[in-house]
Structure 1
Amino acid sequence: MSNSHPTEHELLKTILEPLLEDFQYWFSRARALLESEQISFLSPEEQAHLLKRIKTAQQEVNAAKMLFKATGEQAGIDTATLVPWHQLVAQCWQVAMRWRSLKGKLSQDSDSSDPNLAP
């Protein structure tokens, strides 16, 4: 009979590799937003600090990914390392959702004040 339970290596490849890709994706999106827009509900210092944290996290994720590959996909990552990344992604999502909401509201307000767009 074959063993139906995945090996540690298979689990790492199946779970960790996509997780690291997700972190890279979300951090790059958040970085692009913070580098291209002035977020009105963040002070310039808060925005710069968040951007700095994202850049640091990106470097950490890249290092973890390189280590994972260099060890033949045998090295895991301690949850104490993953949790702050998850928290930072959640914070980035909150900023992006609020920014989109405010941007949409501003767009609706400007549309409704345009006499050419009135019904």
Structure 2
Amino acid sequence: MSSSNSNLPEPELLKSLLEPLLDDFLYWFERSRSLLEGNTLNFLSTEAQADLLQRVRQAQQEVETARMMLKVTDGQVGLDTAVLMPWHRLVTECWQVSMRFRSQNP
């Protein structure tokens, strides 16, 4: 971290770190949702694909709520890593599904 960032007030620092992270989560969840809604993934059962899609939709809602809280409180609200880690794991799972889909559908 550069010295200019170390002088930021804590809420500003939280906001500067969390906003882009939440935006990234939303970006990847939207891409995953599009893939899951628009394609039949032969390597997943119908139930597994529906479950993954439901988890992506739920995560999108959670991230949107967190982003709204961050904006409403002007950076006064942070997120515990216990909240972030399931989203990270879900994004990783979605990346793996997407890579497998692309490898089977060049």
What TM-score do you get using the length of structure 1 for normalisation? 0.82
In structure 2, the residue matched to 1:39 is 41
Question: Which consecutive aligned stretches of 4+ in structure 1 deviate over 4 angstroms post-superposition?
Answer: none
Structure 1 residue 15 corresponds to structure 2 residue 17: yes
- In structure 1, runs of 5+ residues without a counterpart are 105-119
Q: Distance in 2 between matches of 1:72 and 1:16?
A: 12
- 1:86 alignment counterpart: 88
Q: Which residue of 1 aligns with 2:31?
A: 29
Distance 1:93 1:82 in 2: 17
**What per-residue deviation string (whole Å, max 9, x for no partner) do you get for residues 39-92 of structure 1?**
110000000000000000000001001111111111001110000000000000
How much identity, in percent, do the aligned residues show? 57
Aligned position for 2:98: 96
Amino acid at match of 2:44: L
The equivalent residue for 1:107 is: none
State how far apart, in whole Å, the 2-side matches of 1:47 and 1:86 are. Answer: 18
- Cross-structure match for 1:53: 55
Q: TM-score, normalised by structure 2?
A: 0.92
Gaps of 5+ in 2: none
- Deviation, 1:14, is 1.6
Structure 1 distance, partners of 2:105, 2:23, is: 28
TM-superposition CA deviations, 1:16-45 (whole Å, max 9, x none)? 000000000000000000000001100000
Q: Does 1 or 2 have the higher relative contact order (CA < 8 Å, sep 6+)?
A: 2
* Cα-Cα RMSD: 1.2
Q: Which has the larger radius of gyration?
A: 1
Counterpart CA distance in 2 for 1:73 and 1:21 is 15
